């Protein structure tokens, strides 16, 4: 049995009756109201009414939710909006109305990297508030904001803003900004990932893990789901996503997911185009970076054993893309390359309140070059002293000794 986690998944198969019972048995939810809200694209509203406000993606720390910079006016508008939602939620809960629910998560994290001091010490890693609204006719939505974004964790960033319509027991439609329904390290909220952070692959090519677009989920059979989506070609925190809509470039996703009480398999892919741009080289000469095809395919399998309580999860992935490191002002890669990644998890449930997790990642960002693979092994111990609280101690080993890191974290969901 998986211990209580600290945030509900926002777009997983647990939304469907066929998967709900198994998900509840494998992952007991923390008692909290269910999500409900009429979908509003807050970022679109701000951009239309505040033309001078821009959201820029930065190439640094993509997973920490710190690759966007919101000007003060934007931030205060979002703060006011969240405040209004808080008041509405308190009133709704006071009257025992099931329509509006609020949730949040706070994580304070300490890290110490070997022979380095740039980001060592305590940090507010997560400070999120989410509002969910359920309306008649099976319509619901979610909006969530991260308040620990930016290089100094002092900025706000829009995370989720989507609506969902359950057209029938087997069909659901999604629209807005949401976690991409791909493999585990993308589709899962960072608050639930056993290794605390997303993989190097995700932070490089799927920074932020959220796409903007529309998606359809269809239950082909009681244990099989087909997921199809059409998205902007770049994720929300991609270092090269400096314009709204990514200049009308799109990508399409297709995922076939099979799940039973003790086994899960995913086979899927992504096809699209990374837009080109103009910049200048170090000598200040004009530089044209052409658009590039981006594609990936993956196979994921998960086995859940009851005795001992052990979960084994593995993902194999291959793809082609232009590495966006450096953004558009100082791009480090001008042409696309083939990449490959292997990720393996082993999660052992020692007791009902103790969990040990192991993650191994082998990420090769350019298979045509030798000696550039990033291999990381992480070992984490989780302790759940009470409902909604998770204490974590971990250590990561990398091929480069300077990348070894010790981690401690306290996470609380309310």
406 falls in which pLDDT band (50, 70, 90)?
very high
Give the residue, 172 or 70, on which the prediction is more confident. Answer: 172
H helix runs in 264-347, sequence order: none
What long-range pairs does 374-382 form, CB within 8 A, spacing at least 24?
A: 374/200, 374/398, 374/399, 375/399, 376/200, 376/403, 378/195, 380/194, 380/195, 380/196, 380/356, 380/407, 381/354, 381/355, 381/356, 381/357, 382/3, 382/194, 382/354, 382/355, 382/356, 382/357
Contacts (Cβ under 8 Å, ≥6 apart) of 260: 22, 223
Contacts of 368 (CB under 8 A, 6+ apart): 337, 338
Pick from 97-101, 201-205, 262-266: least confident: 97-101
- DSSP bridge partners of 212: 177
The model's pTM: 0.76
CA separation for the pair 351, 327 (Å, rounded): 45
Per-residue model confidence (pLDDT) at position 140? 92
Q: What is the mean pLDDT of residues 76-96?
A: 49
Q: State the Rg of the chain over Cα.
A: 21
Q: Minimum mean pLDDT among 4-8, 90-94, 203-207: which range?
A: 4-8
Q: Give me the mean pLDDT over the 28-37 stretch.
A: 38
* Residues 120-145, mean pLDDT to the nearest whole number: 90
| pLDDT surpassing 50 at residue 134 | yes
State the average pLDDT for the chain: 80
Q: Is pLDDT larger for residue 384 or for residue 286?
A: 384
Residue-wise pLDDT for 302-343, tens only, equals 999 998 999 999 999 999 999 999 988 889 999 999 999 999
pLDDT of residue 80: 52
pLDDT band at 281 (very low <50, low <70, confident <90, very high): confident
* Residue 99: predicted pLDDT: 85
- Residue 307: predicted pLDDT: 87
Quote the tokens at residue 43: 């970022």
CA distance 210 to 238: 10
Residue closest to 213 by CA, chosen among 176, 164, 159: 176
Percent of the chain scoring above 70 in pLDDT:
74
pLDDT of residue 1: 45
Determine which of 32-36, 161-165, 281-285, 287-291 has the lowest per-residue pLDDT on average: 32-36
Which whole-number Å values give the CA distances from 203 to 96, 110, 317, in the listed order? 41, 20, 15
Q: What is the DSSP letter of 29?
A: P
Query: Which tokens belong to 311?
Result: 């979960």
CA separation for the pair 85, 223 (Å, rounded) = 36
| Residues 38-57: tens digit of each pLDDT | 333 444 433 444 333 333 33
Tell me the pLDDT tens digit for each residue of 186-245: 999 999 999 999 999 999 999 999 999 999 999 999 999 999 999 999 999 999 987 665
Cα–Cα distances in Å, from 44 out to 86, 176, 192, 274?
22, 11, 29, 22
Specify the higher pLDDT residue, 69 or 330.
Answer: 330
**Of 288 and 319, which is predicted with more confidence?**
319
Architecture per CATH, 13-413: Beta Barrel (2.40)
Report H helices in 95-199: 184-187
The whole-angstrom separation of Cα 98 and Cα 348 is 36
């Amino acid at each position: 049995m998986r211990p209580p986690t600290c945030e509900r998944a926002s777009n997983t198969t647990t939304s469907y009756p066929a998967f709900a019972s198994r998900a509840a048995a494998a992952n007991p939810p923390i008692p909290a109201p269910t999500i409900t809200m009429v979908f509003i694209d807050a970022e679109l509203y701000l951009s239309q009414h505040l033309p001078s406000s821009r959201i820029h993606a930065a190439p640094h720390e993509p997973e920490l939710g710190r690759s966007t910079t919101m000007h003060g006016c934007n931030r205060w508008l979002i703060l006011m909006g969240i405040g209004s939602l808080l008041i509405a939620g308190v009133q709704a809960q006071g009257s025992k109305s099931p329509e509006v629910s609020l949730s949040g998560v706070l994580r304070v994290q300490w890290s110490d990297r070997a022979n380095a001091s740039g980001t060592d010490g305590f940090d507010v890693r997560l400070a999120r508030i989410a509002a969910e609204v359920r309306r008649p006719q099976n319509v619901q939505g979610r909006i969530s904001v991260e308040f620990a974004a930016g290089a100094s964790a002092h900025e706000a960033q829009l995370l989720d803003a989507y609506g969902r319509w359950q057209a029938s027991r087997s069909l659901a439609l999604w629209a807005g900004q949401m976690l991409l329904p791909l493999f585990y390290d993308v589709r899962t909220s960072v608050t639930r990932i056993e290794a605390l952070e997303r993989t190097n692959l995700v932070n490089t090519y799927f920074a932020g893990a959220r796409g903007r677009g529309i998606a359809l989920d269809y239950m082909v059979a009681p244990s099989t789901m087909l997921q199809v989506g059409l998205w902007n070609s770049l994720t929300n925190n991609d270092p090269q996503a400096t314009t709204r809509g990514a200049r009308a470039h799109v990508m399409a996703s297709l995922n076939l997911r099979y799940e039973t009480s003790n086994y899960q398999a995913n086979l899927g892919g992504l096809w699209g185009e990374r837009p080109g741009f103009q910049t200048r080289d170090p000598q200040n000469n004009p530089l044209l970076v052409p658009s590039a095809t981006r594609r990936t395919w993956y196979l994921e399998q998960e086995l859940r054993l009851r005795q001992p309580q052990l979960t084994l999860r593995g993902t194999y992935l291959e793809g082609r893309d232009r590495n966006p490191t450096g953004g558009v002002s100082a791009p480090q890669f001008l042409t696309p390359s083939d990449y490959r990644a292997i990720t393996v998890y082993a999660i052992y449930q020692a007791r009902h309140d103790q969990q040990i997790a192991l993650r191994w990642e082998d990420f090769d960002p350019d298979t045509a070059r030798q000696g550039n693979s990033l291999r990381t092994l992480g070992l984490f111990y989780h302790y759940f002293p009470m409902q909604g609280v998770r204490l974590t101690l971990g250590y990561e080993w990398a091929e480069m000794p300077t990348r070894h890191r010790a981690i401690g974290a306290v996470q609380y969901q309310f």
